[in-house]
Amino acid sequence: MIFSPSLAGRVLAGLAAAFTVGAAGARAEPPEPAEPVSAFRALSSNMDAYCSRISLIRSATRRVDIQTYILTPDITGSGLIRELEAAAARGVAIRLLLDDYGSHEAKPRLDTLRRTPGVEIRYVNASQHRGLGRRIDYLLRFGQLNRRMHNKSFIVDDRAAIIGGRNIGDVYFRQGEVKFADLDVIVEGPVVADLTGVFELYWNAPLAAPLEAIDPLPARPRTFRDPSPDLAPRCEEGAEPSAPFQSAPTLVFSDPPTKLYARPDTPHAFDPIREQIQQEIGAPSRSLLVISPYFIPSDDWVEGLVALRSRGVDVRVLTNSAKATNSTPVHAAYSKYRRDLLEGGVRLFEFKPTGEPVEEPDLEFAGLRSRSTLHAKTFAVDGDRIFVGSFNFDPRSVNLNTEMGLVLRSPPAAQGVKDFLDTGARASAYELRAQEGRIVWLDTGSGEEKVLKREPGLNIFEKALLRLLALAPIEHLL
């Protein structure tokens, strides 16, 4: 299949360059690292992200450990399951740890895999029901089942791992029409042992139940036909990677699985990734550059970001526009904070819509249909370090989901994020400004600056929907 160059595709290329081209902008040697040094490589193209996973499975000799929020049995999801079946058949141990809300549709497709010796599949925070009973269960136990294991890790033989924002399914990997602009890294070295430790914590957590206990394997195999296997990306052996490995001190950030059932008012018990990120951000002296598809700053965050600007720190945020987002309620909640951020000097950018409308499988809100969507989750601090992982700057990541990611102390990669926002964002995003008490959107993609005085692409009904959702008392759930 041929990669179609589109606006989202150019964003993927720009994110890849953020980890490589940025080396030219590094001016000073970093200090001697206090943390162990590991090797990393960006996986910013959909093809590279998919085929790197396939290559790792094919190279496995002992074990494959996969933890993910969403696994869908579509073209790429089923293609990856076929590779796991082949690995299991040659004696590789497979452990698959899935979130029940995001991956329940995959259960019938996993029947063949779980019949193979050496394969274990567990679901986290699962409902014991199907169909209508499942929906009723979510209503009755909403406070518990609304918590989600949002972690994404892909570990092979304790020697290499993939960490980032991608789940497993077509919208994250399909070639041709680019659906999501996303970001992962593949890592090797000492950090992999730490990632394996995180996986073990979740694998042995009380809420991780064997699939057999939730959905017993039927005596007669269920019929499941893979959708269009001939359309799956073809991963050639020995293909050259799109970017070289680099070395950097690397830290693992992760929530503990107890966050899935700890009381929200338990101090410091269920949200350590927030504390780790706050500690890592610290008090930036030069820059804080955030790329987050779902960005809902609380009043406290707004105050903190504006305070940084008052000290001369370069604060920029890239998130989705109203027509690019795949969660209209999230955009409505974020829109309430835009004016205060802009008037406080924070620079805001919103990713433009492009391509055909798509729907991410984990979102069930009615509203605007999403188009090609920014899904990468990263931030860079002081041109010195960069975070890549599953964490969004929103209440759900802070309070409800478990999250994980890596901090890479890499000045070239951090500089690359700045370069991307300096140049690539001009073509792929609107820049927002506060002018005369109102917000305007600047579009410079065509080479000349256009000032849009209304939120781009919205009709009167969509604007009304956003205003209505902004008033709804649901921000703590988003």
Instruction: Give 393's strand partners.
Output: 295
Q: Which of 111, 157, 194, 443 is catalytic?
A: 157
Q: Which of 99, 104, 107, 150 is catalytic?
A: 150
Query: Could you tell me if 6 and 324 are in contact, meaning their C-beta atoms sit under 8 angstroms apart?
Result: no
Provide the 3-class DSSP secondary structure of residue 204.
coil
Q: Which of 184, 377, 394, 418 is catalytic?
A: 377
Nearest Cα residue to 16 out of 43, 38, 40: 43
Structure tokens at 351: 């990713």
Q: Which H/E stretch holds residue 451?
A: strand 450-452
| 450 belongs to the catalytic site | no
Instruction: Give 291's strand partners.
Output: 318, 378
Place of tokens 């073509």: 427
Q: What is the DSSP string of 239-301?
A: PPPSS--EEEEEEEEE--GGGGTS-TTSTTTS-HHHHHHHHHH-S-SSEEEEE-SSB---HHH
| 331 belongs to the catalytic site | no
Nearest Cα residue to 59 out of 172, 225, 243, 186: 186
Instruction: Write the burial class of residue 220 (CB in 10 Å: 0-12 exposed, 13-18 middle, 19+ buried).
Output: exposed
Q: Which of 104, 107, 152, 418 is catalytic?
A: 152
Nearest Cα residue to 386 out of 411, 419, 349, 420: 411
Q: What is the CA radius of gyration of the chain?
A: 22
| 300 belongs to the catalytic site | no
CA 302 – CA 412 distance, rounded (Å) = 28
| 157 belongs to the catalytic site | yes
CA 434 – CA 304 distance, rounded (Å) = 19
DSSP state of 234: P
| 377 belongs to the catalytic site | yes
- State which amino acid sits at residue 16: A
CA 301 – CA 317 distance, rounded (Å) = 13
Query: Could you tell me if 124 and 149 are in contact, meaning their C-beta atoms sit under 8 angstroms apart?
Result: yes
CA 264 – CA 399 distance, rounded (Å) = 7
Q: Which of 255, 382, 384, 394 is catalytic?
A: 382
| 453 belongs to the catalytic site | no
Structure tokens at 204: 């042995």
Query: Could you tell me if 373 and 33 are in contact, meaning their C-beta atoms sit under 8 angstroms apart?
Result: no
Catalytic residues: 150, 152, 157, 375, 377, 382
